[in-house]
Chain A
Amino acid sequence: MIAVAVAVKTKRTLAKSGVLAGLIIGGLFAGLPVLWMLSTSFKGNGDVFQNPPKLITSTFSFDAYSEILGNGTQLRYFLNSYIVAIAVTLLTLLVALLAGFAFSRFNFPFQKTINAVIVSVQAVPPITLVIPYFGLVVGLGLYNTYAGLILTHMVFTLPYAIIMITAYLNTLPKELDESVKVDGGTGWTALWRILVPISVPGLIAVGVYTFMISWNEYLFALTLTRTDDMRTVPIGIQMLMGQHSYEWNQMMAMSILGSIPVLVLFLLFQRRFIGGLTAGAVKA
C-alpha cells in the first residue's frame, strides 16, 4: 500500500515538474522579446548590439525616455492618439447603447436583417475599405483631420460594441424598465435612469476594448492623415524608424510609452475583459 502511494506521489511530482518546465519554456518564448524591448530602452544607443549582449549595460539610463518626452512632435502623437481613441470610445458606446436598446427591447420589421448586416461588417477587410475611404474622406474635406479618423475607426468598434451591449441588456430583466413606465416614464427614461446605471460593468468592458482597437489602429491612420500634428502613436513609431533608423533605444522607449495605456487598462480590467472576449468567441 505504502509503496503504491509513494509511486503515485512520485508520478505526480514528475508530472508537476514537467508542466512547470513546459510553462517556463513557453513563458520565455512569450516574455523574452518584451524583456529585451524594455532592456534596450534603457541602453545607450551604442550598446544596443553589444557583443556579447547584456540585459543591463554600463550605459543604463532614462535618456531615451527623456528624449521622447521632451520632443514636441512625439508628444503630439500621444495627444492625437488620446483624442482619437477617447472620442471613438465615447461615440461608440453612445451609438451602440441606443442600438443595443432597440435590439434588446423592441420587435420590429427587418430586425434580423439589420442585425445580420452589423455582424457581417466585422468580416469586411480594411484594405478593401481604405480605398473608398480615401476618396470619401477627401471628398468630405475630412482628410488629415481628427474627425476623419474617428469616423472611420468606428467601422471596427461599432459592430462588436453593439453585439456585446445587446447581449448584456438581454441579461437584464424587462420588468426593470416596466417600473419606469408605470410611473409614466418612456423607454428613453428607462434606458438612462435604469439600464445605463446597472450596465456600467458591461459598458466598461466594451469601452476598454474599443479604446484598444482605436489606439492600435494603423492602416487608416497611415492613409488618412498626412502631417505630424495629426499622426497617431503607431505611425509615430514608424516615423521614428524612418527618420533615425538606428535610434533603437528611442524606438523601444516610444514603443513602451505607446503600450502603457493599453497595458494599464488590461491589468485593471483583466478578469472582466477576458470574460467578455471569450463570451464573444466561444459562444460565437
Chain B
Amino acid sequence: MTMLATKTAAPVEPAAPKRKSLARRLVPYGYLSPTIVLIVVLMVVPIVMVISYSFRDNVIVQDNSVFAGFANYTKVLTDPDFLAAIKNTAIFITVSMVAHLVLGLAFAMMLNTELLGGVTKAIFRIVYILPWLFTIAVIAVIWRLLLDPAGVINYVLHSIGLINEGVNWLGDPGKALWAVTFINIWSGYPFFMISLLAGLQGIPKDLYEAAAVDGTNWFQRFRHVTLPQLRPVIISMAVLDLIWTSQQFALIWMTTGGGPLNTTEMLSTYTYKQAFSEYEFSTASAAAVIVLLLTMILAFFYVRQQRER
C-alpha cells in the first residue's frame, strides 16, 4: 500500500532567475500546511504524549502525575497476561499470514485460468472478494451466528459425524484462538488474492511458453516461473499482513473479548483493557509503546524489502 510519493518534478519555470523570492519558496509549504498541521496533531504530538505517559504514573485520570521511570515497563513485561498476549498474537498473525498467502495464491491462480470465460471469472471474482467488503463488526456477528453451539457449522459437523455434540468454538479455551484465527483468515485473504492476481497478470506469457517448449509440467512451471516472478509481491504482502493483523482489535473484541481465560488475549486487547477497562493509562501506555516498537521492527523489514526491489 505504501509507495514513495515523490518524483522529482522538473522546475516549473526553467528560465526563471535562480534566486527565488522568499515568498515564492514558501509556496509549496503553503499547500502542505494543512497536512503538516494534521500530521503534527494526529501523529507527532500523540506519540510524544504516549511515550511520556509511559514513564509517568496516574496519567489522564488524575492531574498530578509523577515520574515513574521504567516502572510501568517492568510491570507490563512481567505481567503473565502480557506475555500470553505476545504468544497469542504471534500465533494469530503467523497462522493468518500463511493461510492468507496459500488461499490468496490458490484463488488468484484459479481466477487467472485461461480455461474459463471472462464472465464466469468475473462472477467468481466478486464472490471471492465478498468477505473483504464487510466491516469487522459485521464479520464478528456473522461468525458468532455460524459458530454458535446450536449454529449451522456445528449442525453440519454433527451430521457428517465429526463431532458428537455442539462445540462452543469461541468459548472453549482450547479452541477459541483457532476459531478467531479462522475468522481472520476468512476476512483477510481477498487482499492477498487481489494483489497476487494483478501480479500473475503481469507475468510475461513467453516465460510460460518457453517453459512449455522445454517439456515442463504444470508443477515445474509453478515452481520455476510463477513463484519467482511473484516473490517480491508475496514478501511485501506478507510483511504488510503481519503488521495489519497484529493491529487487529475489533474482531477479537467483538467475538471473544480476549477470553476465555486470556486464551485469545492479543497485544491490542490487552492494551485496550488496561486503558479503558482498568483505567491504568500508564501501564497501557507502556504496552502501547512496546506495540509501537514491535511494529517499527516489522516496518523496517518492509522498507528494506522495498528498497531492494
Contacts and interface: CB of A to CB of B under 8 A. Distances in A.
Given A33-B143, A120-B299, A125-B291, A238 B43 contact: no
Interface residues of B, number: 107
B49 A111 contact: no
Interface in B286-309: 288-289, 291-292, 295-296, 298-299, 302, 306, 309
Interface string B261-280: 00000011001100110000
A27 B127 CA distance: 6
Contacts of B135: 215-216, 218, 233-234, 258-259, 262
A255 B136 contact: no
A156 to B, nearest CB: 10
Nearest to A17: B115
B142 A255 contact: yes
B9 A107 contact: yes
Classify chain A's interface size.
35 or more
Contacts of A174: 9-10, 12
A124 B1 contact: no
A77 to B, nearest CB: 11
B3 interface: yes
Give the dominant DSSP class at A's interface: helix
B202 A282 contact: yes
A282 B11 contact: no
A283 interface: yes
Interface stretch (A57-65, A68-76, A160-168, A192-200): A160-168
Contacts of A162: 5, 35
A215 B253 CA distance: 18
B208 interface: no
Interface string B140-176: 0111111010111001000000000000000000000
B155 A119 contact: no
Given A123-B295, A132-B46, A259-B135, A95 B237 contact: no
Interface in B102-140: 103, 106-107, 110-111, 113, 115-116, 124, 126-131, 133-138
